[in-house]
Amino acid sequence: MFVTFEGIEGSGKSTLLSGVAARLRANGRDPLVTREPGGTPVGDAIRGLFLNRSSSVAPLTEALLVNAARAQHVADVIEPALATGRTVLCDRFVDSTLAYQGYGRGLDRAALQAMCDLATAGIVPDLTFLLDVPVAVSRLRTRARGRDADRLEAEDDAFHERVRAGFLELARGPRHRVLDGRLDPDALLAEAMRALTARAGGTPE
């Protein structure tokens, strides 16, 4: 099973992913935990460039960079793991590209989708959790991290409002579960595990 975790900055997606992974391991499973952009040496190098505030990166370049990292990630990590029957938990995937570079940056979404389809070799998540929080909550949480904002975090509120709206539009599909990122982490984990178990056909996770 391929499960992805999406949301704007500070939405709680990474915390939820860690909780799901821990619960699966406690139940005898061996999930592969990975992230985008990244997941491979090539992807991690691209991630550093992609998020560096000192870099001036055009929107189309952003999309090309993240999909170059994704193509390597799918080929080297995601596809082989799925082929062996492992559950893959990924922090961000195609929805992030459509939300950030499509809705946020204004790139043509059909062209972006085609680019993503090429990079993923047709792999689509079985289940996507969208952690949704207001932009004001996102700002408070990212500031509380005590580090400098990366290049995307540093964008203005209007940008992040567009990205949030994009995620919610994309989440109308049947593979999505929208979760309120303001909920207690334990409540979020319980809700996510119920959805994961249901998508797996009722198999205890």
| pLDDT tens profile 114-168 | 999 999 999 999 999 999 999 999 999 998 887 787 888 889 999 999 999 999 9
Tell me what the mean pLDDT of segment 38-54 comes to. 91
Give residue 202's pLDDT.
61
Domains of the chain: 2-199 (3.40.50.300)
- 101 has a pLDDT exceeding 80: yes
Q: How far apart are CA 158 and CA 60, in angstroms?
A: 20
Question: Whole-angstrom Cα distance, residue 8 to residue 153?
Answer: 9
Segment 98-120 shows an average pLDDT of: 97
Share of the chain above pLDDT 90, in %: 84
Q: How many other β-carbons are positioned within 10 Å of the β-carbon of residue 139?
A: 18
Q: Alpha-carbon distance 124 to 113, whole Å?
A: 12
| HSE value, Cβ hemisphere, 13 Å, CA-based, for 198 | 11
Query: What is this structure's pTM?
Result: 0.94
* Whether pLDDT at 203 is above 80: no
Contact between 87 and 125 under an 8 Å Cβ cutoff? The reply is: no
Q: What does the angle CA 183 – CA 104 – CA 192 come to, to the nearest 5 degrees?
A: 25
Average pLDDT score over residue span 31-51 = 94
**pLDDT value at residue 67:** 97
Let me know: does 74 contact 119? Beta carbons within 8 Å. yes
Question: Cα–Cα distance between 174 and 79 in angstroms, integer?
Answer: 22
Q: How far apart are the first and last CA of the chain?
A: 12
Instruction: State residue 205's pLDDT score.
Output: 43
Quick one: which of 50, 81, 77, 52 has its CA closest to 66?
A: 50
- φ, ψ for residue 187, nearest 5 deg: -65, -40
For residue 185, say if its preceding peptide bond is cis, omega within 30 degrees of 0.
no
What is 147-200 written as a DSSP string? S---TTTTS-HHHHHHHHHHHHHHTTSTTEEEEETTS-HHHHHHHHHHHHHHHT
Q: What is the mean pLDDT of the chain?
A: 94
